[in-house]
Amino acid sequence: MPSFDITSKVDAQALDNAVNVTARELSNRFDFKGSHLVITLDKKEFKINLEAEDDMKMRQLCDVLMSRAMKQGIDPKAFDFSKEAYQSGKVMKKEVPVKNGLAQEDAKKVTKLIKDSGLKVQAQIMDDLVRVTGKKIDDLQSVIQLCKTSNLGFPLQYVNMRN
């Protein structure tokens, strides 16, 4: 029976490359010369730690990070910029968590979307992924199109297609 998996993972190497390219670009920009900027990636917790002198530079730092991550193939929805930057001494600090893996409530949203569509497929939650099985590959491709067109608020990847 044909099946595939729906996941929401971020490639750690692509994320590391995006952070490094952002740091390199900002060190070369004229408007950031001589200013305090720090961008680091915590690979264990999938968090990006940002430090800048003021709020304007923090916003520019976030914009550059987003554009570089998009060029590395990382979906912008993977970053959680909802936390506000906070003042710590003379600098602004901000933690940006990166969503890695499908959370339980997100997996429930995906399975509900698939079951409400009326397609003849089964969706089941397995840890941090959703496995979709069906009799026809065309039904599975319809599920992929359905998930791509619906705005769920988190990035999805479709892997492990089996016949």
Long-range contact pairs involving 24-30 (C-beta distance under 8 Å, separation at least 24): 25/64, 25/68, 26/61, 26/64
Cα 77 to Cα 21, 53, 74, 97, 145, distances in angstroms: 19, 26, 9, 11, 18
Residue 127 burial by Cβ neighbours in a 10 Å radius (0-12, 13-18, 19+)? exposed
At residue 155, the pLDDT reads 87
Asked if residue 13 has pLDDT above 90, the reply is yes
At residue 154, the pLDDT reads 86
Q: pLDDT averaged over the chain?
A: 90
pLDDT in tens, 95-118: 999 988 888 998 999 999 999 988
Across 59-138, the runs of DSSP E, i.e. the strands, are 86-88, 91-97, 121-126, 129-134
Structural domains in the chain, CATH included, are: 3-8+101-162 (3.30.70.860), 12-97 (3.30.70.990)
Query: Whole-model pTM above 0.75?
Result: yes
Radius of gyration of the chain (CA): 19
Grouping H, G, I as helix, E, B as strand and the rest as coil, residue 33 is coil
Asked if residue 133 has pLDDT above 90, the reply is yes
pLDDT-derived band of residue 6, with 50, 70 and 90 as boundaries? very high
At residue 47, the pLDDT reads 94
At residue 162, the pLDDT reads 85
pLDDT in tens, 58-105: 999 999 999 999 999 999 889 998 888 888 888 999 999 998 888 899
Asked if residue 152 has pLDDT above 90, the reply is no
